[in-house]
Structures are given as structure tokens and as C-alpha cells.
Amino acid sequence: MLSLEEAIERSLTAAPRLGSESIQVVNAEGRFANVDVAAGVSLPGFDNSSMDGYAVRSFDLRDASAGTTVKLTCTGMIPAGTVPTETIVEGTCMRIFTGSPLPPDSDAVIMQEDCRTTSDSENTIFCNDSVKPWENVRLKGEDICNGSPVLASGTRITAGAIGLLAATGNNQIEVGCRPRIGFVATGSELAEPPGKLKSGEIFESNRAMLASMAKKSNARPTLYPIVPDSLDSTVTALERAFAENDAVITSGGVSVGDHDHVKPAIEQLGGSLNFWRVDVKPGKPFVLGQIDGKPLFGLPGNPVSALVTFLLMVRPALLAMQGAGKLCLAKRPGRLAEVLANGGDRRHFVRVTIDDEGLVTGTAGQGSHMLGSLARANGLLDMPPKSRLAKGSKVGVILIDQ
Ligand code: AMP
Ligand code: MG
């Protein structure tokens, strides 16, 4: 049996890096940058006001206070988008607005709330507060310097990063291509929902569940018809799915039962089998195959096992195919609200809920067929074999919804 770490390594090795494409920045949220981007401008691009008020020389207002009024002559106005040419000389100021460039020789802005005008002398500004040099001024380059890094290759692009890309003059960005993933469910007991089940049948649920999770990793999923347990049907289904996708994810049919045809089908198609047992619960068995340089992730049929193995071993590969830098799932720190134990001899990824206060509770029913407790869970707790965690223990919960 393979360790999880070794299985992930092999999974990454089997997954080819896809090409990159240039897309509009507005559509780049969640995608992975495939280039380093440097700023083509500084942010701010020029010294500008952070307030509506008056651009002044701070020295002129050194004596202004609630009890001492200083009068300045306003020589003009600087609406946003205009360029002031007039120099602020002793005793003068200019009306300025948030984002307007500072006029020459001005070194501060006094907020309009700290000034008064009178109706008979509108150009005279009465100031009752002093300002420090560079008060209410946003300095050129204080956020981003021209030429400094804006986005590193491998980074997941967030809305904030999109704002920064646009602010530094980009409308296109080079990102990893989205992997086309075919989803194939095997099992003669499986029926397409909705409808009436014949006796012995169950509704097929893995394709929709796995495809929805894969979409979070930018996958472009195709769901193929349910495949009955026969070698011929499995070979035909895999052949089609491989022709149309960058990788194929199957569920079911990877045990050692007489009706498990995924492994023989890979062999019949001339593919290779990399491993098929991983030392985790839920999850064993898991198949990693390769056909024509494309990976096949053969997940167990039990729904919980399928989702957990997808998150642990397939998701990193989908991300690596796009050139992602960070492949592992994020964790949130929490405290156990109850005792949790793993009495088994395999590493167990226990379904838990973690609430807003960080309190962690096991979801009842940890059987690998139990979708009810999977649907209630928002996290997984990695518990070593034969381990017990006391109530109140500090834990790191792997978040499912990523
Ligand atoms: P298998 O891995 O094929 O031995 O299946 C293990 C268990 O998971 C069996 O109880 C199957 O009925 C169930 N199962 C397999 N595939 C699916 C599926 N796509 N949706 C729901 N249950 C499944
Ligand atoms: Mg089966």
C-alpha cells in the first residue's frame, strides 16, 4: 500500500502540464497566472489628494487652530483628471478633490470640513486647523512602484489581483488552460436520476458531485453515460472519454471484485497502471492509470471515498496541469467540541463541521457510503492510525469547499 504523499507525487507525475492561453482580465478570477507580471506604471501614478479640500503649503497653516484663524487666498480649482500648473505660493491655496493631482509646491491638503468661506469673499479660505507635511496626500508609488511585481506565475487570480492588473494597465492575462475532464461512472446497479428505481438499483451520484468539485479547480467537465459492469462497455466508454478530454475520472469498478473492469480496460487500451491501493480511509482502492500520456484517476465507487480521494489526490493534479503553485487544500485552525478517535490502522480523513467560532464536531456516521454526513460536513480532519484527540484539542481542519 502506498502512503498518501507518495500517491500524490505519482498523481502529479502522471498529469501533463497543459498549455496557456491569453484571456481577458475580467474573466480571470480563479485561474492560475502562467506569467510573471510587472507593473507598467506606479500606483498612485502621481502625488494626489485623499480628501476634498484645499491644497496648501503646510508651513502656511503652522499657527492655525480652533482659536487662531489663518486666511488663504484660493487661486483656482483642480477637478479630477486635470493637471494643475499654478504654483502654490505663500498665503495661497487651491480647491482640490479626492484623486486630483497636487499642484506644484503644495505639500498637504486641508479637509474642507476644517475650512470656511464667506459669501462676500469666496476666494478667501478661513482655516482653523494646521496640517502636517504630506497630510491627506497619497504619494506617487507608495502602493506599487513602476517595474515591481504585480502577479507571480502560479498564483491563483483573485478579484483583488484583477483590480491590480487593471490598475496597472492590463486587460489580458496569460493563464493555464482549463483541463477538460471526462467523468465516467461504472456499475450495473446505477440508474440516472430522476425516475423510478428497479429493485437493486440506486441513483448514480458520483459524476455530478465530482464534476461540481472539479469545476472549483477550473475543470471543464463532461459527464458520460453510466457504464454497466462489463469489460467491453468499460473499454468503449474509456476510449471515447480519453479521445475528448485531457484526463478521465472514473468511479467504481476498481476493487478486486469479479465485476471490476476499470483496470483490465486500461490494460486492454494499452495504458499503464501506476498503483491501486493507498493507505487512507475512506479511499482505498484508488487507481492511477495513463493512456496516451493522459491520466486516468480511478476512484472508488463509494461516494465519500470518491470525493475524499478526489480532494486529496486528483485536485492537486488538476491544479498542477494549469501551472498552479499551491496544490494542497487550505486548513482552518479549530478546537474539538468532542472526543474524536481513529481506532483503525489506516490514516482516517474524518468528516467534521467547523463553525464560525472554530468549534469542530464530527458528523455522525463515518461510513464511506454515507452521503448524509458528507453533505453536513464542511471539513476533514486528518487522524493518524490508532489516535485519539481529547475534547478541546487544537486541530487544523481541511476545508472541503475550495
Ligand atoms: P464499487 O467501487 O464499484 O465496488 O462500488 C462501491 C459502492 O459504491 C457500491 O455500493 C456501489 O453501489 C456504490 N457506487 C458505485 N458507483 C457509484 C456512483 N456512481 N454513485 C453512487 N454510488 C455508487
Ligand atoms: Mg461497482
pLDDT by residue (tens digit) across 286-307? 999 999 999 999 999 999 999 9
Q: How far is the CA of 189 from the centre of ligand 2 (A)?
A: 8
DSSP per-residue letters across 367-393: -TT-HHHHHH-SEEEEE-TTEEE-TT-
- Which ligand is nearest the CA of 282, by number? 1
**Cβ–Cβ < 8 Å for 332, 302:** no
Distance (Å, whole) CA 44 – CA 12: 41
Q: How far is the CA of 105 from the centre of ligand 1 (A)?
A: 75
Of 98-102, 128-132, 142-146, 280-284, the one with minimum mean pLDDT is 280-284
156 has which bridge partners? 32
Supply the pTM of this predicted model. Answer: 0.94
**Cβ–Cβ < 8 Å for 54, 110:** yes
Q: Which of 203, 277, 297, 302 to mutate to test the pocket of ligand 1 (most atoms within 8 A of CB)?
A: 302
Q: Which of 203, 226, 250, 251 to mutate to test the pocket of ligand 1 (most atoms within 8 A of CB)?
A: 251
Instruction: Count CA within 13 A, CB hemisphere, residue 356.
Output: 0
- Whether 258 shows a pLDDT value over 90: the answer reads no
92 has which bridge partners? 73
- Which ligand is nearest the CA of 190, by number? 1
pLDDT tens string 100-141: 999 999 999 999 999 999 888 779 999 999 999 999 999 999
Q: Looking at residue 161, what is its pLDDT?
A: 98
Ligand 1 contacts (CB < 6 A) are 185, 187, 189-190, 202, 204-206, 251-253, 255, 257, 300-303, 369
